Chains A and B, each alone.
Chain A
Amino acid sequence: MSKRLLAGAVSAALVLTLAACGGTTKNDASSSGGGGQSTAQANPDAPTKSGVKMAFLPKQLNNPYSDIEVSGGKAALDELKGEYKLVGPNDASASSQVSYINTLIQQQQDVIGIAANDPNAVCPSLNQARSAGIKVVAFDSDAAKDCRDVFINQASTEGIGQQLVKMASELAGGSGEIAILSATPNATNQNAWIDVMKQELAKPENAGLKLDKIAYGNDDDQKSFQEAQGLLQSFPNLKVIVSPTTVGIAATARYVSSSSYQGKVAVTGLGTPNQMREYVKDGTAKEFALWNPADIGYLAAYAGVALSSGQITGTQGQKFKAGKLGDYTIGANGEIVLGPPTVFDAKNIDQYNF
């Protein structure tokens, strides 16, 4: 009986909030944006709740990378005795996630984990969810920071850029010509990493490395093939191709391994162990890096449950435990950095399957 009463009260509150939203959008955004982050007090010693209902909303379903991410979330929720749910669109367009968020609000989930396709398009819906008491954890790709509680960052931009230059330098033997084969010319992540790489290359210890060109393969096999080919023809002294995108690195490695450049030009960058295993073993790509996507989902689930239990609220400096990954501290703007990327080579690649 009391349960039913409670449900009635909650839905009445929900209706009221929704009505308030409809009335003055401006007012609502500012009140919930500010309210979500500062009203509740964090209690680090609060018991971890079980039965937390967390829904994952990746960029798109059927994407190999997203699938691995959410599998980590499922594993974590199994550990925490929570309820795992997965929904998502088939295309990664800006507006495609909105209707899913609205459905999740109606289903009264406790936590939504989202990899935002567009930081702003999902904002109004996420704020509606938060005013209905749902915690929002962004992972992989951030939503605007006033409409989520925390963001799980796979690795800091600096960390990745530095790692890429470090591998390029090792493979080039400390000096020589290198080139970058990126995704699309306007890909946010890739461009941020490339900027860090340029800063790293400007440092004295990397003075021997010369960046010949940044080519763009549009994350398309054929196009990446052609661009890799163009790089090798235009720059006869090229020693290393760095491709910070999973499609680009696989295409480049496949091209180099089946061409006369095999053994003369090294390939590295960001890729998954499964797609690169063949090329690591034949020596085309001696080492490459990536964060473990499953860990992103895993950390997102732990953060979501910690939020829901009241152990954290998303303020800088708060700490929480994330199972096998250890302790994490929330950084500026509610960001939680997963850690340095994992480097894969012939010795350890067989331990990973994703």
Chain B
Amino acid sequence: MFGTVFKARESGIVLALVVLIVFTATQNSRFLSGQSIRDILLGTAILAVLAVGQAVVMITRNIDLSVGSVLGLSAFTVGSLLRDNQGLPVIVALLAGLGVGAVCGLLNGVLVRFGQVPALVVTLGTLYAYRGVIYFWAGGQQINADKLPGSFLSFGHDSIAGVPWLVLIAVIVLVVAGIVLRNYRAGRELYAMGSSPQAAELAGIKVGRNTIAAFLVSGGLAGLAGVLFAARFGTIDAAAGNGYELNVVAAAVVGGVAVFGGSGTVWGAGLGALLLTVIGSALAVLDINQFWQQAIVGALILLAIGADRLVAVRVQRALKKRDSHV
């Protein structure tokens, strides 16, 4: 039952994607040119990495609103690190970003776990707190492309075997998270916590520890996304990633990750990120007033939540029926 439901949810997004791409391509064949596909995938990469982290947290019935600020903090840290140490290899930059994000995520997790405060409130607080740190530190500085080492900037748009580095990293993140959540005990525990925290606790799952771990993953991935952001845009100031959190939550929700936890996959979240990016590009190509973009994203979220509700009701009915047999 669950398996087919999820499949149905994700195939819905795939269908929407196919329809959108085919329609746009018939209007303008350049939409399917190599350059265009590359741009869409590059744009998706950053959002997808964030959405995977968000999905992990949302599955445990929490939410991480601080990801935009964490991305900004990581991007600025890595940017100033590279500006001052031109010879630094890209891998060090990636690890530094990951580290900054992980520390922020750990703090979120600890506050949620030990403060016993809803994650919505904690991460709303840290959203502003982390942004405040960037403002305090960065002030009016801007790190520009001409101050960043060439190797780092080319990492932002170079490819290995035809696949851009950014996309490769996003795919690795997606596959690893997908497998862990699906096949490993640690992953299944997160779903159990999201379905019913009390039951999970009684079943001997270390709910507190897992919550911290989930925020750690989300923070770390937001930090990683910050490095990708810096490499792709090359211009970083204190406002980098401002407002990203809502796009990320939208991508996860559209991708079928339930806000109430316990269901959804990172594949869905990744597809949600792809769909949102394709919508953005398609509207620009189709010459549609961009005011529609927000309305369309909003409608998609409502549709996803509606589908969520429908599924929940059906599942409940199915479970009740089974109960009556027993």
Contacts and interface: CB of A to CB of B under 8 A. Distances in A.
B273 to A, nearest CB: 12
B265 to A, nearest CB: 25
A216 B35 CA distance: 21
A275 B233 CA distance: 11
Given A236-B30, A258-B156, A274-B142, A221 B284 contact: no
Interface in B227-243: 233-235, 237-238, 240
Interface string A25-64: 0000000000000000000000000000000000001111
B88 interface: no
Interface string B126-153: 0000000001001111101110000000
A222 B43 contact: yes
Given A226-B43, A236-B30, A215 B284 contact: yes
A64 B140 contact: yes
Nearest to B279: A226
A275 B144 contact: yes
Given A223-B280, A234-B28, A250 B235 contact: yes
B36 interface: yes
A142 interface: no
B285 interface: yes
A234 B140 contact: no
Contacts of A250: 144-145, 234-235
A188 interface: no
B296 to A, nearest CB: 14
Contacts of A255: 39
B142 A230 contact: no
Contacts of A281: 146
A97 B283 CA distance: 37
Nearest to B233: A221
A251 interface: yes
Nearest to B38: A259
Interface in B274-326: 280-281, 283-285, 287, 290-291
A229 B284 contact: yes
Contacts of A64: 140-142, 237
Contacts of B43: 222, 225-226
A259 B159 CA distance: 12
Contacts of B157: 258
Nearest to A229: B39
Nearest to A65: B140
A277 interface: yes
Among B36, B146, B237, B291, find the residue whose CB has the most chain A CB atoms closer than 10 A: B146
Contacts of A216: 290
B196 interface: no
A213 interface: yes
Name the 5 nearest CB pairs between A and B, nearest first.
A230-B284, A67-B140, A278-B146, A258-B157, A278-B145
Interface of A: 61-68, 90, 185, 213, 215-216, 218, 221-223, 225-227, 229-231, 233-234, 236, 250-251, 254-255, 258-261, 274-275, 277-279, 281
17 contacts: A62-B135, A66-B140, A67-B139, A67-B140, A185-B290, A222-B43, A225-B233, A227-B290, A229-B281, A230-B283, A230-B285, A230-B287, A233-B31, A254-B235, A259-B35, A260-B35, A278-B234
Given A65-B140, A260-B35, A278-B146, 6 more contacts: A62-B138, A63-B140, A64-B140, A68-B140, A251-B233, A258-B157
